[in-house]
Amino acid sequence: MSIRVAVAGATGYAGGEVLRLLLAHPEVEIGAITAHSSAGTVLGASHPHLRALADREVVATTVENLADHDVVVLALPHGASGVIAAQLPADVVVLDCGADHRLVHASAWELFYGSAHAGTWPYGMPELIVGAATASGKQRDRLVGARRIAVPGCNVTAVTLGLQPGIAAGVIEPLDLVAVLANGYSGAGKALRPHLLAAEALGAASPYGVGGVHRHIPEIEQNLVAAGASRVSISFTPTLVPMASGILATATARLAEGADAASVRAAWEQAYADEPFVYLLPAGQWPCTAATLGANTALIQVAVDKRAGRVVTVTAIDNLVKGTAGAAIQSMNLALGLPEELGLSTAGVAP
């Protein structure tokens, strides 16, 4: 029997990528395709690459249009998911690709987002290290059977996967973390804004969210505390670069006392040895965003800068796949008792 899935916010980049992945999922039937301002159009007007769905009508994002499904994916702006999700039946699997339900502490939400907190859902990063709280020490155990799942932020995914093995193993210090990211423009969404025009973006690199104000900071801190840090201090600076998709996250940390290059690499090897979508590359091979394009993979490398006394990690993901839509499908599979890898590719489309 097919799993009927509705996608809200389907005409945006994240919603379109969810639909692309669902088309390759052998157990899924795509149900309602909804949006706000694009309601009444056909999907091909927004996503001409999705030929199998090009003639499907985009309907309004209402509870009535979403309710009669096994799964609902909410690819909506931050702050828009909570009201709709609260009205959906309890037995429906709801995957929120926005930020509304990611944070544990309401105070952190209110500080960074400036509105009332919608509540906390199980966190949709199966690879998140959560210590001894589950049998495997990973978040995936908490997603089995879940009916509400908060999909992680894309920047958060790259930084968390890059740093958490060192935190969990105690080979890096968590109080002087620095992360600088190169981000593709699709992460900024489809809204027409002057700084996103090709005339402004091509040939330019532009930082944003500088100085501790980026909304993904509390989510990164939350994840690294889950991995074993008692307290986290991170300087986080994303930068838009002229590519459509992808994140290359370079994160560094002070080397812990007694740790060396061998113990550092061993920590990352142990953390990801059995992960189907996270790969520690051979020593000396560095991640490239092109190698992750279209794939639900995270490619990671780690090295020790002896002179600086720091560990350097570099992580590449496709922000729309492993960073958003792929994470949603991966979590959906776990929630429904399906094989975690079902419908998800590890093959990129480089060059």
Catalytically active residues are 154
- DSSP-derived secondary structure letter, 57: B
Q: Please give the Cα distance from 342 to 131 (Å, whole number).
A: 26
3-state DSSP helix/strand/coil % of the chain, to nearest 5:
30, 20, 45
Q: Please give the Cα distance from 248 to 67 (Å, whole number).
A: 37
Q: How many CB atoms lie within 10 A of CB 118?
A: 24
Q: Please give the Cα distance from 310 to 281 (Å, whole number).
A: 19
Q: Which residues contact 239 (CB under 8 A, 6 or more apart)?
A: 180, 181, 182, 183, 205, 206, 207, 208
What are 346's two structure tokens? 């590890």
Give residue for tokens 């990801």: 272
Q: Which three-class secondary structure state does DSSP give residue 298?
A: strand
Q: Which three-class secondary structure state does DSSP give residue 179?
A: strand
6 has which bridge partners? 72
Q: Please give the Cα distance from 348 to 291 (Å, whole number).
A: 5
**Is residue 28 a contact partner of residue 328, using CB atoms and an 8 Å limit?**
no
Q: Which three-class secondary structure state does DSSP give residue 27?
A: coil
Q: Which three-class secondary structure state does DSSP give residue 154?
A: helix
**Is residue 216 a contact partner of residue 155, using CB atoms and an 8 Å limit?**
yes
Q: Please give the Cα distance from 57 to 66 (Å, whole number).
A: 14
Q: Which residues contact 212 (CB under 8 A, 6 or more apart)?
A: 235, 236
